[in-house]
Amino acid sequence: MTPVAESQTSKRLSRRQYIKYAGAGIVAVAVAGLGYYGTRPPPTQTETSSLKLLPPTADFEYEPSYINPTSADIICFLNKSRNPDGTDTDLAYSWYVDDHLASNTKDHFAQLSSGEIATPHEVRLSACRAGLCNDVEKLVRIDPTSIPEYPERMLHIPIKGIVVDAGTKVDDFYDSKRNITDSELEAELVDITNKELGCNGLRIYGSYDFEVLRYAEIAARGNFDAILLCPRYVSQDTDEVVRRTVDFAARAEALRSTSKSVVLQIGQELSTDVSGIFEGRTWLDRVFEVGDKWHKHGWQQKLNQLLNDLAVGVSVVFHGPTSYSAGPWELDIPWNQLDVDIIGCNQYWYEGCTEQDYLDRLRKASRYGKPVYNTEFGSCTYKGSWEYGGAGFAYVEGKEYSQEAQAEYVRRYLDLNERAQMDGLFLFTLSQNQPGSLDKNSMGILKLDVPDYSYPPHYSRKKAFYAYKSYQTAT
């Protein structure tokens, strides 16, 4: 090999060797890097916290909450706090009530005081991990168990009840069906109505058979002596009302296997609810007709025939006690001939009425030898609503909101019904879901404490609630 050729071969080998050894070096570095990262110890807590550790999210719920707790209730504050990864590992808690430390437990149980309706308390939960904290605060309102203005007294009427609407569809302008869960319903019917108010009677009406029966099934968990079920099929013709009522009666009979307190009502104020007795396409049209034509007897004969058809029809499938709730203008029902067990009267005060007039109307029904229930009475929440009775909602404009007035009118009704020696009475109503300032229109004794119709609802007790609660039955 010539020197020149040797030199060229040497240069080529040098390039090959460079590439070979350079490539080997790159691979070595790469492998060393992988080995470095594979064998490196986990990052320290300080390193992790600066990169990954975030504060937890504090949250809690409390029960009872659907209706304000009372000062006698033990409130369960349930901790819902979580780390960013969804766990509650290594969390520490501090509960504060009105800025005072109450406990460091995960959940908190406490009674809170109440000096008046809806007494506010600020409840704050602080959730911490590794020195990072997050707080949440909620306003919890507490109602008293009683009010001094309404001391307890005996009610000398066997059945003390309340009226509940399970959802009524009135033509195309009104539908009161609510989005209410079974637990919320049990709170209303069993915990509040039966246990707290001391009602041993409940009257449930509505256009939706399933809802009326659902309400009744939940009410049966309580200790009611009378659960009145009243289907309402507004603006249906008489044949359809008979058909649907008989069908409902068969389903109500099945409910009697779990509760012997069930009473079937074949209707209420059917002369205006049903199409074909008074003239008028809508319920409101027929109500206006009452004022003009109630003294004419043609409609009364139609009503009496309908009532007889209903009583005969339901008797085939329903074997418990039955009733009907008559409007104040439905004066000439032949109760001695009508095959129902309990006479029902929806008897409000009315314009121009005197105490004697009111007592006479109630006592008139007692002459047939059957139990008599006043199945509907009550008052809107403003001064002067007493004078308008069941039509108080139509005269609310310009009136002064007053829970005290509503409570006083409820007491007047109770005193008059005692004097008339009623066998049962049913106050209208537990709640009418009129939010904010609209509560003036409401005959409910619970107030909807939300600014609009938002969900979930929340209620506080009104003074009329305490007035009605103060009347205790012998049972």
Rounded Cα gap, residues 154 and 110, in angstroms = 33
State residue 433's pLDDT score. 84
| Residues carrying CATH 3.20.20.80, the chain | 153-472
The β-bridge relationship of strands 262-268 and 226-231 is: parallel
* 373-382 pLDDT tens trace: 999 999 999 9
Q: Which residues make up the CATH 2.60.40 domain(s) of the chain?
A: 60-142
Which pLDDT score, from 0 to 100, does residue 421 have? Answer: 97
CATH of range 153-472; options 3.40.50.10490, 1.10.10.10, 3.20.20.80, 3.30.930.10: 3.20.20.80
Q: What is the mean pLDDT of residues 415-425?
A: 98
pLDDT band at 11 (very low <50, low <70, confident <90, very high): very low
Spatial CB neighbours of 341, under 8 Å, sequence gap ≥ 6: 263, 321, 322, 323, 370, 371
Average pLDDT over residues 123-148: 97
Q: What is the pLDDT of residues 231-245, one digit of tens each?
A: 999 999 999 999 999
pLDDT in the model for residue 159: 98
The pLDDT score that the predictor gives to residue 293 is: 76
State how far the Cα of 222 lies from the Cα of 69, in Å rounded to an integer. Answer: 19
Q: CA-to-CA distance for 276 and 282, rounded, in angstroms?
A: 11
Model confidence, pTM: 0.87
pLDDT in tens, 87-117: 999 999 999 999 999 999 999 999 999 999 9
CA distances from 314 to 146, 252, 318, 320, 324 (A): 43, 10, 6, 10, 12
Residue range 30-47: mean pLDDT, rounded: 41
The CATH number of the structural domain formed by 60-142 is: 2.60.40
Q: Are 233 and 245 in contact (CB under 8 A)?
A: yes
What are 337-367's pLDDT values in tens digits?
999 999 999 999 998 899 999 999 999 999 9
